[in-house]
Amino acid sequence: MGLAETQPYLVGRLLDTFLREDLFAMSSQATVQSAPEGYPRLSDHWLRYRWDDHKTWWIPVLQDAPLQKWRSAAPLVVEESSGRSLTTVDEVLLPALERVDEREALLQEVACALDHRQRTESARLQWFASQPTRNFQHWWQSLAFYERLASFQDHPYYPTARAKVGLDGQALRLYAPEFAPTFRLRWLAVPVQSVQGELPAHWPRSEQFLGVPVHPHTAPQLTLPEGAYWLPVDDWQVQPTLSVRTVSLVEQPDLHLKLPLLMRSLSYKNLRKIRPDTIADGHTVQQILAQRVGSDCLLTDESTGFSVDGRADLGVIVRRYPDFKNATVLPVAALLAADPEGGSVLQNLVRTHFDDSEQAFFETYLELTLRIHVDLWVKHGIALESNQQNTLLVLEDKGCLKLCLKDNDAARIYEQVAQTGATFVDPCIRVNDWLPIAQMFITITLQLNIMPLIEASSRPAHYYALARQLLERQLATYAPDLVAASGIRQQLLESPQHPVKYLFSAGTLFSKQRTGAADINKHYGWTGSNPLHHA
């Protein structure tokens, strides 16, 4: 794929994000008009937006898009003064650059997104041309196959999702899941007393030193702790997973290592280190969940991991998967990815596992997903950041579905309801009211794991109605005072607006001082239309 195909794609995503996050008041202050005489007939509705006294844009838009009132109808804007169509990323970004705090970060991220999309799409086309097959002998082979497919599928909303800032073209080929490489980890010997955390059994160590695995991309950039030295070994061969920084062991593929990786993704401020508090907190949340979910919600074991001297760039989380036997395992993120056999992964799964019934898939998937997460919300005061990457579908037999949840270190827990008695290193996990629970459920479970699938279906309105019907049925199983106290009916069903993550704003464009975001991944605006309100 060349620049000619990539430019319009990214222009459209940037315009949609400007409108969704109401950047520069583009949605709230624009006026809705018909196209002036001579303009291209792209839509019945155009937004006229004044940047200043000298620059005005006309944006062709469509109404009632997911999470926003307006979305771009075409990857262009028309400049009022000249009548010229602006169709390149540079032209669309130019006026925005004068108003953002992080100009260089934005330019670097967008340039990286253009470059990486071209490279990875070329890799996808080459892989598809080789006609890859699905002769899976073990569950981990299906997971690796579908995670690679998922790596080619952009985030539903974040505009520059393909950018892995910090990886150049060579590093992308060496370490990114789109290219399915294998490589060997570096090993650093550190003094035992500098390590904090739980060590796995049989971990490489001596009486005075402990072996720390280091991603080879991170290794040259590390400042070594006092007394540490590189070991002349490269024993563990690994393969990148969908998250890039997490790798699977080639010789033991049910064991994954989450490692600090000096790469920025899904916003410039998201440098993929591992905060030491997430190591302990993830295991604590996992223990809490194990007591509160049923047999159709599986959990990974993340009980071991450690950091060195409290550093975020040196440590590891060890993730062990359940034995899925002969199941087909794939992340939710893979469902809308292009399939080598044509169509999407979801369309092929519907055919092979649900008797070619889209209705059967949605009935099964929505019932299971909503039951697990609504139970956690209403009964236990818990919401999980179990997004499309961290939620796995486990297909055992035809139509038999389970979920597996991993990486639960950023949950929100209303302790007054949950009564866990747990302590967390990260104070943000424990909350004092229902609002953070609602925000996380809506922006993760609904907007990432459900809405994109429904929007891509053959009957979106029908499946939104099905989701509402399933929710109403489930809420009827709880005591009325429990439902009322949780606020779930008001927040999820009756409110005309839903919270939307303003991640581009908080994570790349503006400083934390300007946004006031304590956590860039939890910075919300209440501008999303609620698809369940009139379903």
Condensed to tens digits (0 to 9), the pLDDT of residues 441-454 reads 999 999 999 999 99
Instruction: Judge residue 456's burial from the number of C-beta atoms within 10 Å of its C-beta, 0-12 exposed, 13-18 middle, 19 or more buried.
Output: middle
* Cα 87 from Cα 177, distance rounded (Å): 31
φ/ψ (deg, to 5) at 470: -65, -40
pLDDT band with cut points at 50, 70 and 90 for residue 147: very high
Mean pLDDT of 245-256: 98
Token output for 343: 């169509």
The whole-number average pLDDT for the span 49-75 is 95
| Nearest alpha carbon to residue 519 among 452, 440, 447, 461 | 440
Q: Of 142, 224, 238, whose CA–CA distance to 189 is shortest?
A: 224
Encode pLDDT of 372-413 as tens digits.
Answer: 999 999 999 999 999 999 999 999 988 799 999 999 999 999
How far from chain centre, in Å, is Cα 331? 11
- The stretch 31-58 carries a mean pLDDT of 95
Decide: helix, strand or coil at residue 48: strand
| Class of the CATH-defined domain 327-529 | mainly alpha
Residue 102 has which token pair? 């992080």
**Whether residue 534 has pLDDT greater than 90:** no
> What per-residue confidence (pLDDT) applies to 3?
59
Phi then psi dihedrals of residue 88, to 5 deg: -105, 160
* Mean pLDDT confidence for 49-55: 96
Q: Are 228 and 190 in contact (CB under 8 A)?
A: yes
Is pLDDT at 1 greater than 60 in this prediction? Answer: no
Nearest to 437 by CA among 393, 378, 367: 378
Can you tell me the distance from the alpha carbon of 53 to that of 60, in angstroms, rounded to the nearest whole number? 21
CA dihedral 135, 141, 147, 150 (to 10 degrees): 10
- For 13, 337, 432, the CA distances from 149, given in Å and listed in that order, are 21, 6, 40
Check whether 419 has a pLDDT greater than 90.
yes
Strand partners, 320: 255, 301
Residue found by looking up tokens 């790798």 in the block: 247
pLDDT confidence band for 235 (50 / 70 / 90): confident
Q: For 256-294, what is each residue's pLDDT tens digit?
A: 999 999 999 999 999 999 999 889 999 999 999 999 999
Q: What are phi and psi of 8, to 5 degrees?
A: -60, -40
Packing angle of the helix pair 3-20, 103-129 (nearest 10 deg): 130
Q: Cα–Cα distance between 15 and 77 in angstroms, integer? A: 9
Please indicate, yes or no, whether the overall pTM of this predicted structure exceeds 0.85. yes
Domain ranges of the chain: 3-97, 180-302, 327-529
Question: Bridge-partner residues for 405, per DSSP?
Answer: 299, 391
Dihedral class, residue 280 (left if φ above 0, else alpha if ψ from -120 to 50, else beta): alpha
Give me the count of residues in the chain: 535
DSSP string over 180-236: ---EE-EEEEEEGGGEEEEPPTT-SB-SSEEEEEE-TTTGGGPPPPTT-EE-S----
Average pLDDT over residues 482-492: 97
Q: Measured over all CA atoms, what is the biggest interatomic distance in the chain, rounded to whole angstroms?
A: 81
DSSP 8-class letter at 154 = P
For residue 499, CA distances in Å to 38, 216, 523 come to: 38, 39, 9
Over residues 74-81, mean pLDDT:
97
Q: Write out pLDDT tens, residues 18-43.
A: 999 999 999 999 999 999 999 999 99
Instruction: Give, in order, the Cα–Cα distances in Å from 512 to each of 20, 21, 151, 523.
Output: 20, 16, 29, 10
- Residue 318 near residue 200 (C-beta atoms within 8 A): yes
pLDDT at 4 over 90: no
Cα separation, 246 vs 318, whole angstroms: 9
